[in-house]
Amino acid sequence: MSTAQTMTTIPDFLIRRFKALGVDKGFGIVGDYALKLFDHLYRGGFPILVTTDEQGAAFAAEAYARIRSFGVCAVTYSVGGFKVVNATAGAWAENVPLLVLSGAPGLSERQGDPLLHHKVKNFDTQLEVFKDITIAQAVLTNPLTVAADIDRVLGMMIAHQRPGYIEIPRDMVDLPIIDRPEGLVVELPKVHQKRLELAVAETIQLLEGAGSAVAIAGLMAVRRGLGKELLAFMENFEVPMATTSLSKGVIPETHPLALGVYMGAVSSPSIVQQVENAQPLIMFGVLYADLIMGAFTDHLDRGQVIECMDSQVNIGYHTYQDVPLWAFLPALIKAASARGYKEYGQVIHKKMSFTAIAGQTLVVERVMECIAIFLNEKIRLIAEPGDCLFGSIELPAQSLMLASAYYATMGYAVPAALGAACADATRRPLVLVGDGAFLMTGLEVLSAVLHGVNPLVIVVDNQGYGTQRPMMDGPFNDIASLRSEELPSVLRTGKGFLCKTEDELFSALTVAVATDELCIIRACVPLGNYSPGLLRLTAALKQRV
């Protein structure tokens, strides 16, 4: 005798799945093809927070996903969907499970292939574009399979840590669909138990015989939620640990065993020497990419590397397949604990110092040194690609820093502040952004304030696209000047500060960190002034010529 099937609707099913994943809101901009979807989601307790632009919404949702492990961006058809292609591509490149939820023309409206507004070539043109930059896609047209289609997309996104795409025709939004009352099933990378045991045994043997072992915590260790395990490994083995620019702050950088960011020649010589001379060097989920490794200025001896990846472990020149990072690291800690657990326990907070010189013109290095003394566990760093990112590697992050550090899309940091604060309200976003990137998405500070987020935004104004100038300069690096510090008065909210000297910046930061209002600080540095990290990188690259 068959069991009666329960029914639901697409929005109700989505909301249940989102909340089970720990996601309580999305970000986006509505349009007529998505009006009914937005309304049903809102009435069901899942609001879509409005931003000034769709790309900003996608950046916010992507930042939310980096912290909550899943994010939702909702848009209308084509004019909204195509605006989030860039952010979705970045989510693919940096392994972020960002769901693009798009409204679409109703199925009944498509009869006869009419020229409906927002249509481009065919009704599936938007779908075809997103197929190349998402791990799974679904257009929800069949009430019998809708729930299964949604679960397939969500499951693939989480299993592979990649973005996904769901398109909902507007006449499907309130139709009854067959429910799936069971929970979402996610198939993580499979584990070969014997190979896991062998990989752990060999790794422990190498680490126990090591005199100069170093670890690097990478991107996939963050995506798999292994922050506590990384800290436990570091303390079990008493192994110093660096991070990459995509994982900065996953371990508190005030810990006595924390080295800071390894980024090839961009990093300080002391970090480079310790990492590159390590025997062995164990890398947990590191994305080996050009910007992550300082334009491949790294000098790592592959024969001394234990590389723990999302699906396998490579030790020297041989491989243990089907030994994924999420299983390997806990097993390694368990085995090490059986040999006598060693831990440092409480994190020691390193004391930073900075003495402002009255009237001294600001330079990038001193801007970062001044910011460093104001950082604490209640602040989350968000850095824009370019010299803000290169300069930020010296800052002592105490929580995961957010940055488009590999894909390197400009305009990420300001809207990311909204998503980051919505995902974790215990930390105030401190945004480091150049004047060029701020021109692109700076108005998203108003969206942040609208939704109760008051970031501290530091605009490092170097009069144009400063990171490009050392490579090749010309009028294409010049941009319009914006008095960004005056935006709070225009927006009638928050405080603005213009800083040209060290004492002005110190005073502005002292006020800004003590207030809960939106604060925009424009820190002006001379044309042609760069962070030490960018100068080291430039010098290393010149040696190749």
* HEC letters along 65-80: HHHHCCEEEEECCCCC
Same domain, yes or no, for 398 and 536? Answer: yes
What backbone phi and psi angles, to 5 degrees, belong to 142? -115, 110
Give tens-digit pLDDT for 50-109: 999 999 999 999 999 999 999 999 999 999 999 999 999 999 999 999 999 999 999 898
pLDDT recorded at residue 116:
86
**CB 264: neighbour CB atoms within 10 A?**
23
| β-pair partners for 387 | none
Same domain, yes or no, for 163 and 220? Answer: no
0.85 surpassed by pTM: yes
**Is 350 inside any structural domain?**
no
Give tens-digit pLDDT for 149-206: 999 999 999 999 999 999 999 999 999 999 998 999 898 888 999 999 999 999 998 8
Tell me the average pLDDT across 338-358: 70
pLDDT recorded at residue 535:
87
Binning pLDDT at 50, 70 and 90, where does residue 1 land? very low
SS (H, E, C) 481-518: CCCHHHHHHHHCCCEEEEECEHHHHHHHHHHHCCCCCC
For 253-358, list the strands marked E by DSSP. 258-261, 281-284, 305-308, 312-315, 318-321
**Res 296 pLDDT > 70:** yes
Instruction: Single out the residue in 299, 321, 337 at which a domain terminates.
Output: 337
**Is 349 inside any structural domain?**
no
Same domain, yes or no, for 309 and 404? Answer: no
**Is 351 inside any structural domain?**
no
**Res 304 pLDDT > 90:** no
Same domain, yes or no, for 238 and 172? Answer: no
Instruction: Single out the residue in 151, 178, 205 at which a domain terminates.
Output: 178
**Res 542 pLDDT > 50:** yes
Write out the two tokens for 19: 């909340």
**Res 242 pLDDT > 50:** yes
Binning pLDDT at 50, 70 and 90, where does residue 457 land? very high
**Is 183 inside any structural domain?**
no
**Res 2 pLDDT > 50:** no
| β-pair partners for 382 | 402, 431
Give tens-digit pLDDT for 375-424: 999 999 999 999 999 999 999 999 999 999 999 999 999 999 999 999 99
Same domain, yes or no, for 536 and 474? Answer: yes
**Res 353 pLDDT > 50:** yes
Cα–Cα distance for residue pair 64/451, rounded to 1 Å: 14
**Single-letter code of the amino acid located at 350:** K
Write out the two tokens for 459: 């605009």
Write out the two tokens for 394: 């010296």
Pairing of strands 7-8, 177-178: antiparallel
Same domain, yes or no, for 426 and 460? Answer: yes
Q: Percent helix, strand, coil in the chain (nearest 5)?
A: 40, 20, 45
- Output the domain CATH number for residue 409: 3.40.50.970
C-beta of residue 253 within 8 angstroms of C-beta of residue 396: yes
- Output the domain CATH number for residue 272: 3.40.50.1220
Same domain, yes or no, for 200 and 174? Answer: no
C-beta of residue 414 within 8 angstroms of C-beta of residue 442: yes
pLDDT recorded at residue 459:
97
Binning pLDDT at 50, 70 and 90, where does residue 132 land? very high
Which helix (H) or strand (E) is 434 found in, with range? strand 428-434
**Is 416 inside any structural domain?**
yes
Same domain, yes or no, for 395 and 499? Answer: yes
**Is 214 inside any structural domain?**
yes
SS (H, E, C) 91-116: HHHCCCCEEEEEEECCCHHHCCCCCC
Cis ω before 280 (30° cut-off from 0):
yes
Cα–Cα distance for residue pair 110/333, rounded to 1 Å: 57
Sign, CA torsion 398/290/216/265: negative
Cα–Cα distance for residue pair 391/368, rounded to 1 Å: 7
Tell me the average pLDDT across 5-25: 96
Cα–Cα distance for residue pair 27/72, rounded to 1 Å: 6
pLDDT recorded at residue 347:
54
Instruction: Single out the residue in 143, 178, 213 at which a domain terminates.
Output: 178
Cα–Cα distance for residue pair 282/314, rounded to 1 Å: 10
**Is 512 inside any structural domain?**
yes
Same domain, yes or no, for 301 and 449? Answer: no
Structural domains in the chain (count): 3
Average pLDDT, the chain: 92
Tell me the average pLDDT across 468-492: 88
Domain that holds residue 45: 7-178
Same domain, yes or no, for 125 and 234? Answer: no
Same domain, yes or no, for 173 and 216? Answer: no
**Is 526 inside any structural domain?**
yes
Same domain, yes or no, for 287 and 412? Answer: no
Give tens-digit pLDDT for 318-329: 899 999 999 999
Q: Which residue has the tokens 């000047």?
A: 481
**Res 128 pLDDT > 80:** yes
pLDDT recorded at residue 115:
87
